[in-house]
């Protein structure tokens, strides 16, 4: 009888050996609609840039701010295709998208501006300068 070294992960490999492949496939299928964003901050603004190629008009995206979160929703329409074409690969995303981004600072919702150029949506939000930290004096008796 051959001795086998103890391997605590052997049961995982035996029972779930295909799990990494399944997770990779699930991740690819469920994150293609995910909008990739960068959030940066200057002294006066919070700037969110989002990569959303394929928008044709401003009605294709809705931007809202609620509870210090920026919400992006929209739809990317598929360009009409000819029926006589054979599609060999289709990786570009078409359809609904949605993304909620927590903001690092409180912002003035009324001062928000958005622009779209070359597939990049930029949202500029003015920071509010209200003080959330207040020192409390202690009365000693």
pLDDT tens per residue, range 12-32: 555 565 666 666 555 555 554
10 Å CB burial of residue 36 (0-12, 13-18, 19+) is: exposed
**Separation between Cα atoms, residue 71 and residue 38, nearest integer Å:** 14
Does 114 reside within a domain?
Answer: yes
Does 134 reside within a domain?
Answer: no
63, containing H or E segment? strand 61-66
Which residue range(s) make up the domain with 73?
35-80+94-129
**Separation between Cα atoms, residue 130 and residue 43, nearest integer Å:** 14
Does 110 reside within a domain?
Answer: yes
Does 69 reside within a domain?
Answer: yes
Does 63 reside within a domain?
Answer: yes
CATH number, domain of 76, equals: 2.60.40.790
The pTM for the full model equals 0.67
Whether the CB-CB separation of 48 and 101 falls below 8 Å is answered with yes
Q: How confident is the model at residue 119 (pLDDT cuts 50, 70, 90)?
A: very high
């Amino acid at each position: 009888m051959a001795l086998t070294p103890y391997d605590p992960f052997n049961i995982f490999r035996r029972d779930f050996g295909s799990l990494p492949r399944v997770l990779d496939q699930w991740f690819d299928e469920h994150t293609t609609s995910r909008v990739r964003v960068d959030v940066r901050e200057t002294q006066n603004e919070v700037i969110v840039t989002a990569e959303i190629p394929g928008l044709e008009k401003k009605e294709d995206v809705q931007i809202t701010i609620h509870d210090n979160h920026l919400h992006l929703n929209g739809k990317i329409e598929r360009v009409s295709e000819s029926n006589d074409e054979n599609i060999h690969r289709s990786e570009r995303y078409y359809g609904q998208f949605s993304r909620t981004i927590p903001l690092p600072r409180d912002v003035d919702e009324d001062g928000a501006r958005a622009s779209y150029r070359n597939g990049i949506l930029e949202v500029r939000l003015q920071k509010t300068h209200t003080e959330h930290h207040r020192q409390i004096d202690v009365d000693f008796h």
